[in-house]
């Protein structure tokens, strides 16, 4: 692909991204020139050993952190060059995140947790009810909508986290080890939910996982090792 040409469905384009961290007087180079693209309507998975830089890369993809050098373009716009205020707006409106710890608010019900992201994204109040209901339905939790997180299983909590992350209709959903704490049946179910969401909402999902049984459900798998990435 030409460096600055964007295929029509390319949502995120990463070009020669490097990232190093300093600890004491040492610098650790975690990413040593990463190129990848994330396309709409696709499930992309990042695999690689612990410490290979998956979370570091995911944070750059979502504008949570900046590369030391290189470019991260989201819909042709340069995230790597944006200030915090601009990044916050994109993150709130166009990107959804699922972190390994579910990040649900414990005192709010599943319904209220989902509604909160609509409020945060500035979605008009008149749309909250329908959208919340739809997202809980998408993850199969309609009947558990009025339960609080501690009354839900790990898999159910993770599904609330998914509903919460997609409520504001992001174009991109980033999920860091979303199935790490689940058994294999629930992990496969979460991936099936991702496929359904991609079908019905036409978004891009990028997740990290160690679980080899899930890779076949991906459209694209990237493997990270030694600071570099290869498409499989």
How big is the site for Mg ion, counted in residues (CB under 5 A)? 2
Q: How open is the CA angle 196-197-200, to the nearest 5 degrees?
A: 85
Please select the residue that binds Mg ion; options are 13, 52, 55, 113, rule is CB under 5 A.
Answer: 55
Which listed residue (21, 77, 137, 142) binds ligand ATP by CB under 6 A? 21
What stretch of H or E contains 139?
A: none
Q: Taking CB under 6 A as the rule, does residue 56 contact ligand ATP? A: yes
Asked if 52 interacts with ligand ATP (CB under 6 A), we say: yes
The residue written with tokens 């029509």 in the block is: 8
SS3 category, 132: helix
The whole-angstrom separation of Cα 231 and Cα 45 is 10
Residues 6+ apart with CB under 8 A from 187: 179, 211, 213, 214
Q: Where does this chain touch ligand ATP (CB under 6 A) — which range of 50-58, 101-109, 143-151, 191-199? A: 50-58
CB of 80 to Mg ion, least distance (A): 21
Distance CA 23, CA 40 (A): 37
Q: Taking CB under 6 A as the rule, does residue 55 contact ligand ATP? A: yes
Q: Contact between 1 and ligand ATP (CB under 6 A)?
A: no
Q: Report the residue number, 170 or 227, with the smaller CB distance to ligand ATP.
A: 227
Binding site for ligand ATP (CB under 6 A): 21, 23, 28, 30, 48, 50-56
């Amino acid at each position: 692909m030409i460096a600055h040409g964007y295929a029509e469905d390319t949502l995120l384009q990463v070009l020669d991204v490097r990232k190093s961290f300093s600890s004491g007087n040492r610098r650790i180079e975690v990413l040593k020139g990463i190129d990848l693209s994330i396309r709409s309507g696709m499930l992309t998975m990042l695999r690689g050993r612990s410490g290979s830089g998956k979370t570091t890369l995911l944070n750059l993809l979502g504008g949570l952190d900046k590369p030391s050098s290189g470019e991260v373009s989201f819909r042709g716009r340069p995230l790597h060059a944006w200030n915090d205020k601009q990044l916050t707006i994109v993150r709130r409106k166009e990107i959804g995140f699922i972190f390994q710890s579910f990040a649900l608010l414990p005192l709010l019900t599943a319904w209220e947790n989902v509604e909160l992201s609509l409020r945060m994204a500035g979605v008009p109040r008149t749309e909250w009810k329908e959208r919340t209901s739809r997202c809980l339905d998408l993850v199969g939790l309609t009947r558990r909508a009025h339960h609080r997180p501690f009354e839900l299983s790990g898999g159910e909590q993770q599904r609330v986290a998914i509903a919460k992350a997609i409520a504001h209709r992001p174009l991109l959903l980033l999920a860091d080890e979303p199935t790490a704490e689940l058994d294999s049946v629930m992990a496969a179910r979460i991936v099936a939910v991702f496929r359904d969401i991609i079908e019905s909402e036409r978004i891009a999902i990028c997740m990290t996982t160690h679980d080899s049984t899930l890779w076949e459900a991906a459209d694209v798998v990237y493997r990270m090792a030694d600071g570099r990435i290869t498409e499989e």
